[in-house]
Amino acid sequence: MYKTEIIPIKPGGSNSYLIKSEDGYILVDAGLKGAAQKLLGELQSLQSKPEDIILIIVTHNHYDHIQGLAEVKKLTGAAVAMHKDEIMKPGEEDIIRKNESSLIFRLIVKLFEQVNPNIISDTVNVDIDIVDGMNLREYGVDAKIIHTPGHSPGSVCIVTDDGQCICGDTLFNMFPCTHYPIIVYNRKKLAGTYRRLDSINPDIYYPGHGKPITREMFKTKIMNRKKYFKTGGQ
Ligand SMILES: [Zn+2]
Ligand SMILES: [Zn+2]
C-alpha cells in the first residue's frame, strides 16, 4: 500500500487523478467540457468540497486534458500549474498539430477539428510556471514534478517519493500492441524522457489514457525497444 493516495477519475476525454494531500487534493488534468459537474460528483463521494482542491496541475496542453480547465478552475478557485513550453502565443499553431506524427494522423486531427468545432478551449490564466524538479511538499505531498518533453514540448510527470508516477500522455495503455503515445512532438526528446523515467524507476505509472502501467510493462514495452532509442524514434 502506498503512502500517497492517488484516485483516478474520469471527467471525459482523458484520465484525471486526485492526489490526496495533507491539505486537501491536487487535481491532475481537467478533461473535457462538463468536467466541473463530474468533478463535483467525485468530490461528493469523497465527502469533500470544491475548495478542497488546492492546486490543478496540467500535464500538457492538449484539448482532451484542458478543455474543462476554465470551469474547473472557476469551481474550485485553485491555482493552475503548467510548464511554460505548453503556453500558446496568440496566432501560434496548435501544438497538437505541430508534431512528428504521421501525415495520416495529422489529417485525422484536421478532420476531427472540422467536425468538432467545440475543440477550442476557453483561455485560462496559468498561475504557476512549472520548473523541472518543482517540489509539492508545500502542497502537502511528498512528490516532485519533472519536465518530460516528447509527447509535447512542456509535458510533465508527477513522481511521488513512494514510487508512483502520473505521466499524462508520455505513456498510453489503450491498445494491446503499443504503449507509445499516438502523437509525438519530438521523438528524440521522448526517448530521453523514457531514459530519465527508467533511471527514476517508479513502480507504477498512471497514464493519460487507459489503465496503470507497471514497472515491468514499462521495461518490456518501452525500454526493450532498442530501435526506438538508437534512432530516437519508433
Ligand atoms: Zn490525451
Ligand atoms: Zn496529449
Q: pLDDT per residue over 112-159, tens digit each?
A: 666 665 666 778 999 999 999 999 999 999 999 999 999 999 999 999
Range with the lowest mean pLDDT among 48-52, 83-87, 179-183, 212-216?
A: 179-183
Total residue length of the chain: 234
How does strand 164-168 pair with strand 156-160? antiparallel
Nearest to 187 by CA among 222, 146, 232, 223: 232
119 Cα: distance to centroid of ligand 2 (angstroms)? 13
- Distance between CA atoms of 205 and 180, rounded to whole angstroms? 13
Predicted confidence (pLDDT) per residue in 20-56, tens digit: 999 999 999 999 999 999 999 999 999 999 999 999 9
Q: For the CA atoms of the chain, what is the radius of gyration?
A: 17
What are the two backbone dihedrals, phi and then psi, of residue 54, each rounded to the nearest 5 degrees? -100, -10
92, amino acid identity: E
Q: In this structure, what are the phi and psi dihedrals at residue 96, rounded to the nearest 5 degrees?
A: -70, -25
Compute, in angstroms, the gap from residue 104 CA to the centroid of ligand 1: 18
Cα 59 to ligand 1 centre (Å): 9
3-state secondary structure of 188: helix
Ligand number, closest to the Cα atom of 172: 1
Average pLDDT of the residues in 162-185: 91
Q: What is the 145 CA–ligand 2 centroid distance (Å)?
A: 17
Which of 167, 179, 160 has the alpha carbon at shortest distance from 207?
167
Q: Cell for 47? A: 465527502
Cβ count near 201 (within 10 Å)? 12
**Nearest Cα residue to 17 out of 116, 148, 113, 159:** 159
Distance 187 CA to ligand 1 centre (A): 17
Report how far ligand 1's centroid is from the alpha carbon of 211 (Å).
13
Distance 119 CA to ligand 1 centre (A): 13
Span from the CA of 62 to the centroid of ligand 1 (angstroms): 6
- The superfamily CATH assigns to domain 6-84+94-120+128-231 is Ribonuclease Z/Hydroxyacylglutathione hydrolase-like (3.60.15.10)
pTM to 2 decimals? 0.90
- The number of the ligand nearest the C-alpha atom of 14 reads 1
* Domain ranges across the chain: 6-84+94-120+128-231
CB 58 within 8 A of CB 161: no
Residue 113: phi and psi, rounded to 5, are -65, -35
